[in-house]
Amino acid sequence: MFNATRLRIARLFHGITQRELAGRIAVSNGQMATFEGGHKEPKGDVLDALCSVLLVKPEYFCGEADEFREEEVNFRRRISAPEKLKRQVLARGSLFGMAVEQLSRLGKFPAYNFPKHTVETMEDIEVAAEKCRLHWNLTLDAPIGDMARVVENAGVVILAIDLQTAERVDAFSRFGDTSVVVLNLQKRSASRTLWDLTHETAHGVLHQHARGVPLEQREAEADRFAGAFLLPRDAFASDFTACRAMDWEGLLDLKRHWRASVQAILVRARQLELIDAAEYRTRFRTLSGWGWRTSEPDEPTLDVPSLFNKALERAHTDYGTTTADVARTLGWRVELFTSVTGVQPAPPRIDPNVISLTERRLVADKNKAPTS
């Protein structure tokens, strides 16, 4: 049974319009609309052409589609991000979700373990962040050494990849049947990526069932949660007041310890009223002058997600399923798998005792060739 949603997802992932796809496979725009509308099924040459352009196999179009829809996704993007780009990034999420779903049949991912909190005030958010730390066995007085592990141990798969969206999309997350966080690594510092990941975590904790909350409010709440989670108020305030007179060197020392950017530290210090509005402004102006808004010194090491790769390894260990096999089962060409997940399949192992017939023939032909 042809699933038109799967066609749309693949098309959007490649960033092409219906009209462009119609042109590339030599069908009319109307025909393409009927395919995507689910009114007609492409067959024969048309299906082959679709597969060729979209880097899939015919079996890809069969089966259910768990499409990531905008209303169920926390989508962190700049105002300048065009709709087309947004849809393309969502389609990547949908495809990545399919891959995770497939791998979950070959290995058992950590159980979903995100606590839910309803918040109304900033104090509620502070408390929610502290409760989350305790829920995940993280103390309230130490920095988090690996945020990716925190999220993945709680059953959410992270995809950290260069989205090639020129920084117009920071990250997005979806918490539900298949829970994923997608982080854009393009031109981003480790401290900023860590912040994005914690921001997305906040959506999972605070907004999973808060559909009616306006976007701006959700984003502000998630930012506050990220600050409260990475820099717990009591421990951070104590540390900050102990060294604030050390000026920039002290702030960098706090950064090295807490693994949050100097900007995040200043924002947090302002939230907790450890600095006044004038100092906050002066500090930001100074760091802007140094170019720290885009590139800060003393960056922490990047928390590298590992769950997806471990699932691939598990599939290989237990069932001998290679990355290429997973792609095949999904009905994807290997190029599509690499493009969606960033995972390059290992080259096939060649038994040294096996001699290539082609090579042998070439050598034989060369030997037979007449010499002048």
Give the interface with other proteins as residue ranges (CB under 8 A): 105-110, 136-139, 141-146, 149-150, 152-153, 238-239, 241-250, 252-253, 257, 259, 286, 289, 306-307, 309-314, 317-319, 342-344
Residue 349 identity: R
- Residue with Cβ nearer other proteins (9 or 343): 343
Burial class (CB in 10 A: 0-12, 13-18, 19+), 206: buried
Q: How far apart are CA 113 and CA 337, in angstroms?
A: 28
Least distance from other proteins to the Cβ atom of residue 301, Å: 11
**Beta carbon nearer to other proteins, 7 or 311:** 311
CB closer to other proteins out of 63 and 145: 145
Minimum separation from the CB atom of position 299 to other proteins (A) = 15
- Residue 317 beta carbon to other proteins: minimum distance, rounded to whole angstroms: 7
Closer residue to other proteins (CB): 75 or 332: 332
Separation between Cα atoms, residue 275 and residue 281, nearest integer Å: 10
- Give the separation between CA 202 and CA 260, rounded to whole angstroms: 16
Give the nearer residue to other proteins in terms of CB position, either 36 or 279: 279
CB of 290 to other proteins, least distance (A): 8
CB of 145 to other proteins, least distance (A): 3
Of 189 and 306, nearer to other proteins (C-beta) is: 306
- Residue 301's contacts (CB-CB under 8 Å, 6 or more residues apart) are 190
Minimum CB separation of residue 319 from other proteins in Å reads 7
**Residue recorded with tokens 């592990």:** 149
Q: Considering the complex, state which of residue 16 and residue 95 has its C-beta at the smaller distance from other proteins.
A: 95
Using alpha carbons, list the distances in angstroms from residue 292 to 194, 264, 269, 270.
17, 12, 18, 18
Phi, psi of 193 (to 5 degrees): -65, -40
Nearer to other proteins, 40 or 314 (CB): 314
Report the DSSP pairing between strands 157-161 and 180-184.
Answer: parallel
Give just the sign of the alpha carbon dihedral 162, 167, 169, 173.
Answer: positive
60: left (phi over 0), alpha (psi -120 to 50) or beta: alpha
Q: Which is nearer to other proteins, 60 or 240 (CB)?
A: 240
Nearest approach, Cβ of residue 222 and other proteins (Å): 21
| Angle value at C-alpha 128, between 212 and 152, nearest 5 degrees | 90
Q: Least distance (Å) from other proteins to the CB of residue 132?
A: 13
| Shortest distance (Å) from residue 9 CB to other proteins | 23
> CB-hemisphere CA count at 13 Å for 266?
22
Cβ atoms of 229 and 140 closer than 8 Å: no
**CB within 8 Å of 326: residues ≥ 6 apart:** 99, 102, 103, 106, 312, 315, 337
